[in-house]
A and B are shown apart, each in its own frame.
Chain A
Amino acid sequence: TRPDVHPLPPGTHLLFAQSGRIEHVPLEGYDMKKDDAKAVLHLPEKVIIGVAYDCVEKMVYWTEITSPSISRANIQGGEPVAVIRSDLDSPEGIAIDHLGRTMFWTDSVKDHIEVSSLDGSQRRVIIDSDLVNPRAIITDPPNGNLYWCDWNRDAPKIETSYMDGSNRRVLVKDDLGLPNGLTYDSQSSLLCWADAGTHKLECMHPDRRDRRKVMEGIQYPFGITSYGKNIYYTDWKRDAVVAVDRYAATESDEFQPLKRTKLYGITTAYAQCPSGQNYCAVN
């Protein structure tokens, strides 16, 4: 084991990318145990953007843009293994379907969305039109839905489709600026996004289209993840992880790592997989 990296202790954690590192902050209830924050992985020459977590095999997945690749490592201190190394230009968002055992990612130069098995095999482009700056992507495995955002300054939007790319629809296109971050909470079926242009944090049930503001005046969000009543986002202005209580609509805490540099993707590493069956697994 390396002295500069630490295996993830049991429990629920936030994982986020900063300066070629994937850092973790343990969650105690909804509180960030900031003093126990440590690096899970340190790849000093890399720029890590997207981070996703597979709760089944307890693996962290990430996208990297300097020698564009998608890699994974066991969070108990496993070595990083590249699973996709070719035909990537600028991979950004990454999402895991822990039931279907697949991963999805956006590429902001190729302007498309791809899917593959978790080992990188069976790779396929599922969305390749009408994308300008695709960034965050997330899955809703029990319902087989995919959500992503495109921060195209001329026409930003949040879209959805089934996991094979079919049934594609625009969910939100009005009053958006730079929707950088997107998260889905399976418990409440709530889709939430953070916008660095309008400086708002908003949520909606994708079926009900009941869009509502959670918070205004947030600074410069990049990544976002949800855990119960809380939303956590990375902020490019403060170089920090900010916790927001969805119900109280207030900022409840902030974690600013010692290193002052941009934070990118963030995800929740659950102690256990959320319950739920996949529509495919039923057959």
Chain B
Amino acid sequence: NALIGTPGDCQPCPCPDRSSCAQIAETGQVVCTNCPPGQTGMRCQMCEDGYYGDPLGQSGAVRPCVRCDCNGNADFNAVGICDRVTGQCLKCLGDTEGDHCQRCRQGFYGDALLQTAGQKCKPCGCNPSGTSGHVNKCHSQTGHCSCLGQVTGRDCGYCEVGFFNLQPGVGCERCKCNPIGSSS
């Protein structure tokens, strides 16, 4: 306020790069009006939508605004893809999850960081007869389900060599072949 008549009437804007500001008469609050590119907020302390960081270092070291990093598992046509401070991805696609959509979500397996096109995360789809766990529970990378005794296969779908008759909740039985008449 230049009308008070003291040397401190006009103060520099508390905005980066000497950019402009405005004071709200009622509250005395100062708002930056021309933040540097990529920055926004009362003091230009935030990143624009689609970017994250801490450009003024308000909570530690200065982190310039960088594009949301969701490992290619967020759609650039979407809005609000990541948290503007932490960078936590908020709209992971293709059954991925994690702060940077870096892993497959529960019930799915594969490599969420795969750069090629196609399905990165596939459903566990464990065989309900052969698994000792839940049909949607498998190793997040290999996809291996936990199998009943003498049951094998990624999805616990068949019996180990020398075993047969997959029974739900039981597993497989040993083959009772006569060693004399069998070829293996």
* Sampled A-B contacts (11; CB under 8 Å): A2-B31, A3-B22, A19-B35, A42-B31, A44-B42, A65-B79, A65-B80, A133-B77, A196-B77, A261-B37, A261-B48
B12-30 at interface with A (beta carbon < 8 Å): 22-25
Residue A258 at the chain B interface, CB threshold 8 Å: yes
Decide: A262 and B31 in contact? CB cutoff 8 A.
no
Could you say which of A3, A4, A153, A264 contacts B79, with CB atoms under 8 Å apart? A264
- Taken together as a complex, chains A and B put the C-alpha atoms of A99 and B79 apart, in Å, by 30
Decide: B79 and A259 in contact? CB cutoff 8 A.
no
- Which secondary structure dominates where chain A touches chain B? loop
- Given A66-B84, A92-B79, A178-B77, decide whether A45 and B42 contact each other with a Cβ distance below 8 A: yes
- Taken together as a complex, chains A and B put the C-alpha atoms of A66 and B22 apart, in Å, by 23
Residue A260 at the chain B interface, CB threshold 8 Å: yes
Residue B38 at the chain A interface, CB threshold 8 Å: yes
> What 20 new A-B contacts, CB under 8 Å, besides A66-B80, A90-B80, A196-B77?
A3-B25, A4-B24, A4-B33, A42-B31, A42-B33, A44-B42, A45-B40, A45-B41, A47-B79, A65-B49, A65-B79, A66-B84, A108-B78, A153-B75, A178-B77, A258-B34, A259-B35, A260-B37, A261-B37, A264-B79
Decide: A19 and B31 in contact? CB cutoff 8 A.
no
Q: How many A-B residue pairs have CB under 8 A?
A: 67
Residue B50 at the chain A interface, CB threshold 8 Å: yes
B133, chain A: closest CB distance, angstroms: 30
- Taken together as a complex, chains A and B put the C-alpha atoms of A153 and B34 apart, in Å, by 36
Using Cβ atoms and an 8 Å threshold, which residues of chain B touch A45? 40-42, 46
- Taken together as a complex, chains A and B put the C-alpha atoms of A44 and B35 apart, in Å, by 10
* Nearest neighbor of B49 in chain A, beta-carbon distance: A47
Using Cβ atoms and an 8 Å threshold, which residues of chain A touch B23? 3
Report which A residues bind B (CB closer than 8 A).
1-4, 19-20, 42, 44-45, 47, 49, 65-66, 90, 92, 108-109, 133, 151, 153, 178, 180, 196, 258-262, 264
**Chain B: interface size category:** 20 to 34
- Taken together as a complex, chains A and B put the C-alpha atoms of A188 and B33 apart, in Å, by 40
Could you say which of A4, A178, A262 contacts B50, with CB atoms under 8 Å apart? A262
Using Cβ atoms and an 8 Å threshold, which residues of chain B touch A262? 48-50
- Taken together as a complex, chains A and B put the C-alpha atoms of A66 and B47 apart, in Å, by 12
Decide: B38 and A133 in contact? CB cutoff 8 A.
no
* Nearest neighbor of A1 in chain B, beta-carbon distance: B25
